[in-house]
């Protein structure tokens, strides 16, 4: 999944620049073993795809903390943000702000997110229910 997120971010943002691409993944919460492992995968995939990739996360599953992180990334003018949203509705306005700034937004676990370029899922929900 991490490779898919970063590959998608790299491909969709490729025409935007010649400089180093910066992709930041935002986890649901920092310090949780699942997301720690995800962060390792983000860095590894970034190296494989030639992208400056890193991961950050809020100290709790508080959506406004994710909003603050995204606002900081918009100010840094990163190329792409990948995220596991804590609250899709709370994050929608800042996703739109990021897209308006030319930043690619990829979500995981947030299908139908209006301001995301793409949503990538680990599991095909329809197939798993068969």
pLDDT, tens digit, for every residue of 60-115?
Answer: 999 999 999 999 999 999 999 999 999 999 999 999 999 999 999 999 888 888 88
Radius of gyration in angstroms for the set of CA atoms belonging to the chain, rounded to a whole number:
14
Q: 95 in a domain, yes or no?
A: yes
Q: Select from 12, 20, 18, 25 the least CA-distant residue to 99.
A: 12
The range of the structural domain enclosing residue 87 comes to 2-13+21-124
Q: Select from 113, 79, 108 the least CA-distant residue to 93.
A: 113
Give the CATH number for residue 61. Answer: 3.40.50.2300
**Percentage of the chain exceeding pLDDT 90:** 67
State both tokens at 90.
Answer: 């709370």
* pLDDT at 12 (0 to 100): 52
**Count: domains in the chain:** 1
Pairwise CA distance, residues 111 & 16, whole Å: 25
Pairwise CA distance, residues 53 & 80, whole Å: 10
Q: 107 in a domain, yes or no?
A: yes
Confidence of residue 2 (pLDDT cuts 50, 70, 90): low
Q: 129 in a domain, yes or no?
A: no
């Amino acid at each position: 999944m991490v490779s898919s997120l970063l590959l998608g971010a790299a491909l969709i943002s490729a025409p935007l620049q010649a400089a180093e691409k910066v992709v930041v993944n935002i986890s649901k919460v920092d310090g949780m073993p699942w997301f720690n492992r995800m962060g390792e995968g983000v860095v590894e995939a970034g190296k494989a795809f030639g992208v400056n990739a890193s991961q950050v996360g809020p100290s709790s599953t508080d959506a406004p903390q994710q909003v603050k992180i995204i606002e900081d990334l918009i100010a840094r003018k990163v190329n792409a943000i990948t995220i596991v949203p804590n609250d899709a509705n709370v994050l929608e306005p800042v996703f739109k702000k990021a897209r308006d700034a030319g930043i690619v937004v990829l979500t995981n676990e947030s299908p139908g997110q209006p301001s995301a370029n793409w949503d990538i899922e680990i599991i095909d929900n329809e197939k798993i229910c068969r």
